[in-house]
Structure 1
Amino acid sequence: MLNELYTTKELSQIIKKDRHYIQEIREAGLITGIRLGRGWLYPADEINRFIEIAKNYDLSKKEGLLLASHELRKKALNFNKSAS
């Protein structure tokens, strides 16, 4: 199944945030994208995953971004341990 890709500008319109915010959430590991030249493309499933994360955390402040990022990494580590 093909996954639709969105540019940073399109993502900013979807989540109603500017490109600087998108850079912050990408650097915090809350959304992953594909680097294409100087720009980024974001798969639709990643956008949907981020929207679900955003429901559970106050991502308007740096502390919320860091907390969400930490919790996601912790969940990923626990998942990897249980899969072993």
Structure 2
Amino acid sequence: MLVLTGMNLRQLRDKAKLKPEEAAYKIGVALSTLRNWEAGKHQPTMTISEFRNALSVYQCSLEDFDQAVKESVQAYKNEQILSKEK
């Protein structure tokens, strides 16, 4: 299992050496869904078994996955704030 801190979902996927298409397929979601998660536009909603599968695919703990989701969402919010200030 990888030890991760301060990573967003894309970095988590990259650390697992997966292309977006591979990760989406292995998790069982549409590529657009995965991209929305990585962009921070949406948070993952899955069943417990789907979460277990995602953790296996990303090779991480639940805590690492949760933190990566938070990092992605925060980055998206920061982008939105900056774009409104322009």
Which structure shows the bigger proportion of residues in strand conformation? 1
Which structure shows the bigger proportion of residues in helix conformation? 2
Q: Give yes or no for TM over 0.5.
A: no
Which is bigger in relative contact order (C-alpha 8 A, separation at least 6)? Answer: 2
Please, what TM-score do these two structures have when normalized by structure 2? Answer: 0.36
Please, what TM-score do these two structures have when normalized by structure 1? Answer: 0.37
